[in-house]
Amino acid sequence: MSQLPRSFKRALWVFHIATGSCNGCDIEIVAALTPRYDTERFGIMLTGTPRHADVLLVTGPVTRPMLPRLKRVYEQTPDPKAVVVVGGCGSTGGVFYESYNVVGPIDNVIPVDVYVPGCPPRPEAIIDGVVKAVAKLESAGVSK
Amino acid sequence: MTGITTGFGAWNPIAWLLLFLGVVAGALFLRRFGNKQYKKNTGQTKVFLSGNEEPEASALHVRGAHLYWGFVDGLSAYYRRVRALHTGLLSDYVALFVGTLGVVLIVLVLSR
Ligand code: SF4
């Protein structure tokens, strides 16, 4: 059992990893950071390394070359952490379902807390997904 | 006597020691706010290289030869020619030595 650090409520740092997405979802994640949605006012901001992250935002269906990298990034994220899958590709395989060069969906590789469906989902949905992941961790009160 | 006053200021080892202890105490105080759930000897302590595997330290460090890269690259046309002369054959080096000696002698004779 481990408690969530207080920083989770005040400054949620998010690391984004694309595992072979078409970039549609990634652009929506970037849109969530623009002044129109301005997630930084809630303390949610992107970080350049998973070692500083509280939440992993994962997009894409996990192509074979990205498999070890996704695992490594998950391992490098400190506990407690939440994983949010953004987009249909990551949630179910989407248009790449059962493709020969895809090992996803993402929950085949790492444990997932929240799925944000859509192709691509709107920024509001992505922000909602991140907030839900934290709420889930808070209610469980345990580290992943 | 614990300090010296010079034309440029004062040196007092006790003051420096106190300052050092103060900085260490401050650093330890800030460290207490760190994440205690950090797991040692896992991926969480490894360097993040865009998700790539961390190469051996010897492959990652900048070698001494790399410091001269710009110099060697800038003079690469010269080095190409000079390297071609280094055949590793003793007779070639002796020929070069004799040739250079001949040129030096000619210059000396002509400059008299
Ligand atoms: S879910 Fe749609 S928009 Fe997102 S990466 Fe897949 S194909 Fe692209």
Q: Say if CB A18 and CB A60 are below 8 A apart.
A: yes
Does residue A1 fall inside a structural domain? Answer: no
CB A17 within 8 A of CB A49: no
Q: Is A93 close to ligand 1, i.e. is its CB under 6 Å away? A: no
Q: Is A52 left (phi over 0), alpha (psi -120 to 50) or beta?
A: alpha
Is the CB–ligand 1 distance for residue A60 below 6 Å? yes
The reply to whether ligand 1 has any atom less than 6 angstroms from the CB of A21 is: yes
Cα distances from B26 to residues A16, B31, B36, in angstroms, run: 34, 9, 18
Instruction: List all residues 6 or more positions away from A130 whose beta carbon is below 8 Å from its beta carbon.
Output: A12, A14, A39, A44, A55, A57, A82, A84, A114
Using the predicted structure, report yes or no on whether residue B106 has a pLDDT greater than 90: yes
Residue A25: the pLDDT is 94
Inside any domain, residue A32: yes
Contact criterion met (CB < 8 Å) for B53 and A72: yes
User: Which residue CA neighbors atom 2 of ligand 1 most closely?
Assistant: A119
| pLDDT the model gives residue B57 | 79
pLDDT in tens, A56-96: 999 999 999 999 999 999 999 988 889 999 999 999 988 88
CA distance A66 to chain B (A): 9
Q: Does any domain span residue A124?
A: yes
pTM of the model as a whole: 0.69
* Residues A14-63: tens digit of each pLDDT: 999 999 999 999 999 999 999 999 888 888 889 999 988 889 999 999 99
In a domain, A142, yes or no: no
Q: Which domain holds residue A82?
A: 6-137
The confidence band for A140, taking pLDDT boundaries of 50, 70 and 90, is low
Digit-coded pLDDT (tens) for B54-76: 888 777 777 777 788 888 889 99
3-state secondary structure at position A16? strand
pLDDT at A10 over 70: no
Residue ranges of domains in chain B: 1-39, 69-112
* Token representation of residue B109: 């004779």
Please name the member of A49, A75, A143 whose beta carbon is closest to the beta carbon of B43.
A75
- pLDDT of residue B77 exceeding 90: yes
Q: B42 to chain A: which residues are within 8 Å by CB?
A: 75
Contact between chains at B48 and A143 (C-beta distance less than 8 A): no
Per-residue model confidence (pLDDT) at position A135? 84
Question: Which residue on chain A is closest to B40 by alpha carbon?
Answer: A78
Q: In this predicted complex, what is the ipTM?
A: 0.74
Q: Do A72 and B43 touch (CB under 8 A)?
A: yes
Residues 46-105 of B with CB under 8 A from A: 46, 48, 50-53
CATH number for A48: 3.40.50.12280
- What is the pLDDT, as a whole number, of residue B73? 87
Q: Which member of B48, B52, B53 has the closest CB to residue A51?
A: B48
More confident residue, A140 or A130: A130
Burial of residue A5 (number of CB atoms within 10 Å: 0-12, 13-18, 19+)? middle
DSSP state of B73: H
Domain count, chain A: 1
Q: Is the CB of A104 under 6 A from ligand 1?
A: no
Model confidence at A1, pLDDT cuts 50, 70, 90, reads very low
